[in-house]
Amino acid sequence: MKITISTVMKSALTLSFCAFFLVGCTKVSTTPEEKEKKQVLHELPLEYENFRKIIGWVSNEEVLIHAGEGNKDTLYLFDLFSGEMTILYEVDAIILTAVISTDQQKIFVQTVNDENRELKIMNLLGTVEQQTTIKTNGYLNINWNPVNQDNLFISYYKQEQEMIVQNWDINTNKITNVESSSLTPVWYSANLYLYVDNLNDFSLQTGELYMGDIRTNKVTPIRSQVTNFYLNNDTFITFSPSDFNEDELLLNRQYPFMVDNGFVAIPKVSMNDRLIFPYLTQSSREQAIYGITSKEPTQLEVNSGQFQLSKFDFNSQKSESIIDLPDNAPISISKDGKYCLYGWRHEYMIDLKEQELYPLIEAE
């Protein structure tokens, strides 16, 4: 049989087409669901004694790690699904406080050594963009403005009865005093903030909600019978002891602000007659709100209690149990709402889809 050049070319094109088709079929077979199944949480490649805590999320895949040995502390970026850990910042000092900005682009760091007590703002490359000094050796309470990322609250006790509350304008590097009778004011907007005055009630059964304005340094009473609150974007939830059942704590949702939009009653938790408030978290506007709740009214000085992660439905006034947990400890959900850090050092991860709890570091 006579084979022509035309015949050879046709055969080659046919083989090429078949190969392309097979490769294309192979790519199409990998669905998003299959890719998601391949994600496996990795434990931290750290010795337990060198682990301080997980500061929080810097993306849906990465968290900020605080570790240290002796008087030298280090911040790492850790990819939960690849296991890759990179050094972000090292210092010959103790890092007392580290907080990630609301937009997850900057990090506040408080360092202390024999010579200096410094406050620093750095980016995710570890470059220090602003710094100043502070006189206290104690831990700072930090609240970062969610609208203007150049402002954050700094608060601490200078002495047992002397409370210091200040605003650090990062752009100008200026620190000014803020009017507040609470150590934990929370930014509501670029200029307004909220706090609760518990009126020297040790039990935290009473309180009044105030709004302050950094432009005028004036505060205005907003509502009574508020003992604490949770604020995230448009979500505002007040905590108040129930008037009808002494074993319940009421979580009242306001959406928008100051417009009541349902409530949920949860078992009251206390320690030595002082209320213990639940930890709440939310990934983004209008997404599900989760919190740590007790299964029954609990006095922690009597027993350790039984706790769970709950998902709240304020419209139906109900809460759904997601997973049992050992303690009423802090939680922080990822922006995509798939995973939630849990624990006093955020040393655990909750897979919300699988409803499983995973340790992120091997305990001793």
**Ordered alpha helix ranges (H), 165-253:** none
User: Dihedrals φ, ψ of 275, to 5°?
Assistant: -60, 140
pTM score, whole prediction: 0.88
AA letter at 287: Q
- By residue count, the chain amounts to 364
- Rounded Cα distance between 21 and 10, Å, is 16
Q: Is the pLDDT of residue 7 over 80?
A: no
| Cβ atoms of residues 337 and 288 within 8 Å | yes
Mean pLDDT to the nearest integer, 225-253? 95
Give pLDDT, residue 234.
87
Higher pLDDT: 286 or 273? It is 273
Q: Is the pLDDT of residue 126 over 50?
A: yes
- Location of structure tokens 């922080």: 332
- β-sheet bridge partners, residue 165: 155
Q: What is the pLDDT of residues 313-364, one digit of tens each?
A: 999 999 999 999 999 999 999 999 999 999 999 999 999 999 999 999 988 7
Q: How far is CA 210 from the centre of its chain?
A: 24
Higher pLDDT: 364 or 132? It is 132
Q: What is the DSSP letter of 215?
A: T
> What 3-state DSSP class applies to 24?
helix
Q: Model confidence at 32, in pLDDT bands (50, 70, 90)?
A: low
Q: What is the CA radius of gyration of the chain?
A: 26
- Rounded Cα distance between 30 and 312, Å, is 35
Give pLDDT, residue 97.
97
Q: Model confidence at 37, in pLDDT bands (50, 70, 90)?
A: low
Q: What is the pLDDT of residues 40-77, one digit of tens each?
A: 999 999 999 999 999 999 999 999 999 999 999 999 99
Terminal CA-to-CA distance of the chain, rounded, Å?
A: 78
Least confident of 29-38, 68-77, 131-140, 250-259: 29-38
Region label for 59, one of left (φ > 0), alpha (ψ between -120 and 50) or beta (otherwise): beta
Higher pLDDT: 11 or 292? It is 292
